[in-house]
Amino acid sequence: MERDELECFLLLAEELHFGRTADRLRLSRARVSQLVQRLERRVGAPLFTRTSRRVALTALGRQLREDLAPLHQGIEDALARAAATARGIDTVLHVGFANPLTGEIVLKATEALRLSHPGLAVEICEVPLTDPYGQLRNGDFDVQLQELPVQEDDLGGGPVLLAEERVLVIGTAHPLSARDSVSLEDLAEAPLLQLEGELPDYWREHHVPTRTPAGRAIPQGPGVTNMQEALMLIAGGKGALLAPAHTATYYARPGVAYVPFSDAEPVHYGLVWRAGQAPGPVEAFVRTAREVARDLAAGDPRSSVPGLSSPTRPYAAARPRSA
């Protein structure tokens, strides 16, 4: 098995999307298809099912992924350890982030640790929207910063680092986009895009509720696997999405409005790691990330650190309607 086949297969098994896999590998879609077909000929059976709407692993594909993933990770870890030793680094910490705001916190914490802990290297990567815990469980990440709640028996974590207001992401043609704020009851008037993937029920209900607080049914929109796909559908009037307030800054685009909620609980962020994991580098990262989050909240009225300040709402008057 060639290494390019191995990496292409594992990335496609993670993304389940030929375009995103090609982007990450810096290859053409045609080359990705060629590599997958070559591997399927080598194995002697299909590893993926493909339709115009989605890509999925076959049972054989899932088996091959489970067998290959730890071996491939072992190779990557060995190479990383060798490179770290050559640079005089004692430990490499792999950190995941869930969205642009958490990515900013992780990046700033990494820069601070580079000065305070020169023997510690931090590698960062985005957590897939459709698989919020898989890479952490597999050992790809040692710790990750993400939205709460997390109710997994095999995962632990620290206190809330940051709280942020919530907004409704909706097409500018929808009547709700013209309001200064919306309530959770208004969700009965806007179909919510569904998040695809093997997601826990509590996680899915938190991000895509099925009923309003009064018990009214919230209509369901199309399924999505990433933020860019969601924004395209929202701009086309196909649905809406609940999101943290920072989404308006990082994902401003034509045809999309970000309307603050008047009654929604804020989004809470915290660090999560495997239960029973040895402390040390993780603790150093937690302490540094807490300081970064405190500094960030001090300069953003949409955010706060629970226990130090309470959320404010001047963002409702200053939010961008659309780009």
Q: Are residues 261 and 273 in the same domain?
A: no
Q: Are residues 23 and 111 in the same domain?
A: no
Low-confidence residues of the chain: pLDDT under 70: 84-90, 278-279, 307-323
Q: Are residues 29 and 146 in the same domain?
A: no
Helix (H) or strand (E) holding 45: none
Q: Are residues 285 and 229 in the same domain?
A: no
Residue 79 lies in a domain: no
Predicted pLDDT at 279: 63
Sign for the pseudo-dihedral over CA of 218, 265, 161, 153: negative
Predicted pLDDT at 10: 92
Q: Are residues 107 and 154 in the same domain?
A: yes
What is the pTM assigned to this prediction? 0.67
Predicted pLDDT at 90: 66
Q: Are residues 171 and 104 in the same domain?
A: no
Sign for the pseudo-dihedral over CA of 264, 265, 267, 272: negative
Residue 320 lies in a domain: no
Range of the domain at 117: 89-162+268-315
Q: What is the Cα 167 distance to its own chain's centre?
A: 17
Q: Are residues 129 and 155 in the same domain?
A: yes
Residue 323 lies in a domain: no
User: What Cα–Cα distance (Å) separates residue 282 from each residue in 95, 132, 286, 322?
Assistant: 9, 19, 6, 39
Predicted pLDDT at 96: 94
Predicted pLDDT at 70: 87
The CATH number given to whatever domain includes residue 112 is 3.40.190.10
Residue 82 lies in a domain: no
- The alpha helices in the chain, defined as continuous H runs, are 3-15, 18-25, 29-43, 59-86, 100-116, 134-138, 201-207, 227-235, 247-250, 281-298, 315-318
Predicted pLDDT at 101: 93
Q: Are residues 258 and 183 in the same domain?
A: yes
Q: Are residues 55 and 191 in the same domain?
A: no
Residue listed under structure tokens 């098995």: 1
Residue 186 lies in a domain: yes
The CATH number given to whatever domain includes residue 51 is 1.10.10.10
User: What Cα–Cα distance (Å) separates residue 205 from each residue in 146, 153, 162, 168, 211?
Assistant: 16, 19, 21, 16, 9
